Copies of this chain bind each other. A is one copy, B any other.
């Protein structure tokens, strides 16, 4: 008999990556996550970290943004709805924000110039109060 393809097996590595994301309160790069895993004594290959992060992004369980220098950053995303981020560029602490005003503005601007299949990228970077206190 052909079994149902269990297209997501539970492995030690997958659980470890997921656990790191749970303990993280801001965005982190794949390599930073890999380092944190090593620190915990979890031996996980770098390729595996990349693969699992990508899978989580595809499953909409993780948000992905790109830092100024081009590095990709990941963060667990609980919210199921469309939102944006206010990120501390020093410690990575992040607040999820959203606003219908912006969404309407983006759509209006696109419609005004007859663009279709519209997407947008909106990220706000700053220094959080704790980091500014130094």
A interface residues (Cβ-Cβ under 8 A, vs B): 66, 70, 72, 86, 88, 95, 97, 99, 101-102, 105-106, 109-110, 113-129, 132
Q: What are 16 A-B residue pairs whose CB atoms fall within 8 Å in the complex?
A: A86-B109, A86-B113, A88-B115, A95-B113, A101-B102, A106-B124, A109-B124, A115-B124, A115-B128, A116-B129, A117-B126, A118-B124, A118-B125, A121-B121, A121-B122, A121-B123
Given contacts A86-B115, A99-B105, A105-B102, contact A110 B123 (CB under 8 A): no
| Docked CA distance A128–B118 (Å) | 10
Please indicate the chain B residues that have their CB under 8 angstroms from the CB of A117 in the complex. Answer: 126-127, 132
B120 with A124: CB separation less than 8 A: yes
B125 with A119: CB separation less than 8 A: yes
Please indicate the chain B residues that have their CB under 8 angstroms from the CB of A101 in the complex. Answer: 101-102, 105
B121 with A126: CB separation less than 8 A: no
| Docked CA distance A106–B115 (Å) | 24
Closest chain B residue to A97, Cβ basis = B109
Interface centre among A99, A120, A124, A125 (most CB of B within 10 A): A124
| Docked CA distance A115–B86 (Å) | 8
| Docked CA distance A43–B70 (Å) | 29
| Docked CA distance A125–B106 (Å) | 10
